[in-house]
Structure 1
Amino acid sequence: MVPKKEYDNACDQWLGKPAIVTKVIVGGLKRQDSVYNGFCEVSPQKSEIVLVQMGSSFFVA
């Protein structure tokens, strides 16, 4: 998840390379908006567990 202004750059850098990143999603104005945007893109058929990393620290919720 990236800020809207960094979306194009992130897609160019991350997509199409062998790794974990399969999609880039624009975040929201608040953390809760960003988490919501992320959950809207999760496939229930492919994801049993979803981790949310707090950008300001190394903790995962």
Structure 2
Amino acid sequence: MARGNQREKAREKNLKAQAAQKSKSGKTGFEMQRDKEAVAEMMRKKQAAADAKKQGAGDKK
């Protein structure tokens, strides 16, 4: 019986450690904001290129 309890305690400890590890982010708020802005800028450029392509395709019709 003691062995089963030991397993349960180890399992609980492991689950708690995994949950704590998942919740932590390696980035600071400033780094997250900088990354979000970089992605947003990249998407704006991509959208502008798609709009330009649509305009070019629309002129040919």
Normalised by the size of structure 1, how large is the TM-score?
0.26
Structure with bigger gyration radius: 2
Higher relative contact order (CA 8 A, sep 6+): 1
TM-score under structure 2 length normalisation: 0.26
